[in-house]
Chain A
Amino acid sequence: MTVDWSWHAVAEAFPLLLRGLVVTLEITVLAALLSYVLGLVFAVIRMSRIPVLSQLTFLFIEAVRSTPLLVQVFMFYYVLQSQTGILLSAFLSGVIVIGVHYACYTSEVYRAGIEAVPKGQWEAATALNLPRGRVWTSVILPQAVPRVLPALGNYTIAMFKETPLLLGIGVLEMLNRAKEYGAETFRVLEAYTLAGVFFLVISYIASVMVRRLESRVGTL
């Protein structure tokens, strides 16, 4: 068996995939930001033990964590649209679903980070009669958030690697571009290899950065 490898095809696919990569990165960044903010909101709601709201949040998190991301993508994009008539672009739907999905994971990360803040900090803040909201923003979160940054970084890499799922709803991200090129030219080997290399290089660089962040946070 000989491998039929064409550098010409690689050169041809390269700019196409690069355009897809831009979309992939846009989705990753927006979904990540959504998951950072929403995950924190979920964590604080759950830990504040607000009646009903805390339980609902818990159920929602469990439901999201127990179903596949692709099912959620289809549910949100196709089912929601057909049932309610709300029309969101595939791109925006992808950002929302990935962001919300990962918020359910980042909320656990935040929770662990918040629980790692010693109880004495809460007690001192209470003894100083700081308002509830201030206890969070002045005392607890500034101590919890630096500790969770590496874990958030790892989930961001995971989100980056999940974006090809959005091919299922037609988002023109990198894998979709590779598929498109492969279908037109039959050069699937080069197209998918190149996509794989892009994912590999970016994920690897990002994980090295997370590891460096980890060692810096460790010295805090």
Chain B
Amino acid sequence: MVRFDTVAKRFGDTVVLDNLTFDVAPGEFVTLIGPSGSGKTTILRLLMTLERVTDGAVYVAGQPLSHMRKGDNLVPASEKHLRAARKRIGMVFQQFNLFPNMNVLRNLTEAPVRTLGKSRAEAEERARELLDMVGLAEKAEAHPTQLSGGQQQRVAIARALAMDPKVLLLDEVTSALDPELVSGVLRLLEELVRTTDITFLCVTHEMQFARDVSDRVMVLDGGRIIEDGEPEKIFTEPDNERTREFLHAVLDRP
């Protein structure tokens, strides 16, 4: 479903991703872990087309994302191509990024109406279903600023789902939340994983969550994948010394 083919990303002289190659199968839940600055979030941002690759190519559902085919060559993607490619992808951000100038319902209907061309009634019906699913049906008319962080993030998840993504990117979605609000969001995500066939790429520091829901965990360090495998294996007997150090550092925190 997602394929990185020798992808490099550099900002000036700084190498963020170093010839990265991996595949993610449809419906898979892949968690990216690793120290800060290891390139996890950049992988998600490349997939969301918020950044462009420096080298290599990213494919989603077999289609090149950052490039388009022209004869036998790949050329940088046009805005039109990017818009078509983004249809399959959704993203949930650390800072929620709800639109503060719209109420909750409008946050969920704006893109389906403007991008997918749904009728407002149709979009609102779907939005209310999604709000019901995330447990915020009664907040449809509320303003994002009136919601707690956890509620805002659940709205943001519903907003992403309203676009029916095939791939959903979760960028440290609980990192900005007060501790007591984290579990509500994680439970919602677990339920999504169980009940949908969406492919997930998740960057998180919630190691227990990663262990419980992931089909696969990739450990990044310095822009490279240093370990890639089943969560049980990685969390209990990692092969790589750096993985061991990293897990030791994050898990042994008092």
A interface residues (Cβ-Cβ under 8 A, vs B): 118, 120-121, 123-132, 134, 138-139, 142-143
Q: Are A129 and B99 in contact (CB under 8 A)?
A: no
Would you give the shortest CB distance from A122 to chain B, in whole angstroms? 9
List of A residues within 8 angstroms of B114 by Cβ: 130-131, 134, 138
> Which residues between 32 and 47 of chain B lie within 8 Å of chain A, taking CB atoms?
none
Q: A118-B97, A128-B111, A131-B114 are in contact. List 14 more A-B contacts (CB 8 A).
A: A123-B97, A124-B93, A125-B99, A126-B48, A127-B89, A127-B91, A128-B159, A128-B163, A130-B110, A130-B114, A131-B115, A138-B110, A142-B101, A143-B101
Q: How far is the CA of A126 from the CA of B50 in the complex (A)?
A: 8
Q: Are A124 and B99 in contact (CB under 8 A)?
A: yes
**Could you mark each residue 67-105 of chain B with 1 if its beta carbon is under 8 Å from any beta carbon of chain A, else 0?**
000000000000100010011011101010111111000
Q: Are A132 and B93 in contact (CB under 8 A)?
A: no
Q: How far is the CA of A118 from the CA of B50 in the complex (A)?
A: 15
B interface residues (Cβ-Cβ under 8 A, vs A): 48-50, 79, 83, 86-87, 89-91, 93, 95, 97-102, 110-111, 114-115, 156, 159-160, 163
List of B residues within 8 angstroms of A129 by Cβ: 83, 86-87, 111, 115, 163
Scoring B79, B97, B100 by chain A CB atoms within 10 A of each residue's CB, the highest score goes to B97
Question: Can you pick out 30 interface pairs between chain A and chain B where the beta carbons lie within 8 Å of each other?
Answer: A118-B97, A120-B93, A120-B97, A121-B99, A123-B48, A123-B50, A123-B93, A123-B97, A124-B93, A124-B98, A125-B99, A126-B48, A126-B86, A127-B50, A127-B86, A127-B89, A127-B90, A127-B93, A128-B111, A128-B160, A128-B163, A129-B83, A129-B86, A131-B115, A134-B115, A138-B110, A139-B101, A142-B101, A143-B99, A143-B101
List of B residues within 8 angstroms of A120 by Cβ: 93, 95, 97
Q: How far is the CA of A118 from the CA of B144 in the complex (A)?
A: 15
List of A residues within 8 angstroms of B110 by Cβ: 128, 130, 134, 138
List of A residues within 8 angstroms of B89 by Cβ: 127
| CB-nearest residue of chain B to A128 | B111
Would you give the shortest CB distance from A129 to chain B, in whole angstroms? 4
Would you give the shortest CB distance from A4 to chain B, in whole angstroms? 60
Q: How far is the CA of A120 from the CA of B100 in the complex (A)?
A: 12
List of A residues within 8 angstroms of B95 by Cβ: 118, 120
Q: Are A127 and B115 in contact (CB under 8 A)?
A: no
List of A residues within 8 angstroms of B111 by Cβ: 128-130
**Majority secondary structure, A binding face:** helix
| CB-nearest residue of chain B to A120 | B97
Q: How far is the CA of A65 from the CA of B100 in the complex (A)?
A: 35
List of A residues within 8 angstroms of B50 by Cβ: 123, 126-127
Would you give the shortest CB distance from B201 to chain A, in whole angstroms? 13
Would you give the shortest CB distance from A132 to chain B, in whole angstroms? 7
| CB-nearest residue of chain A to B92 | A127
Scoring A118, A127, A143 by chain B CB atoms within 10 A of each residue's CB, the highest score goes to A127
Q: Are A139 and B115 in contact (CB under 8 A)?
A: no
List of A residues within 8 angstroms of B97 by Cβ: 118, 120-121, 123-124
* Closest CB pairs A-B (n = 8): A124-B97, A128-B111, A120-B97, A142-B101, A127-B91, A129-B86, A129-B115, A134-B114
| CB-nearest residue of chain B to A135 | B114
List of B residues within 8 angstroms of A134 by Cβ: 110, 114-115
The answer to whether residues A130 and B93 also contact, given A142-B101, A143-B100 and a CB cut-off of 8 A, is no
Q: How far is the CA of A126 from the CA of B86 in the complex (A)?
A: 9
Q: How far is the CA of A66 from the CA of B30 in the complex (A)?
A: 57
| CB-nearest residue of chain A to B48 | A127
List of B residues within 8 angstroms of A127 by Cβ: 48, 50, 86, 89-91, 93, 160
Q: How far is the CA of A128 from the CA of B101 in the complex (A)?
A: 16
Q: How far is the CA of A134 from the CA of B86 in the complex (A)?
A: 16
Scoring B49, B50, B111, B159 by chain A CB atoms within 10 A of each residue's CB, the highest score goes to B111
Would you give the shortest CB distance from B55 to chain A, in whole angstroms? 22
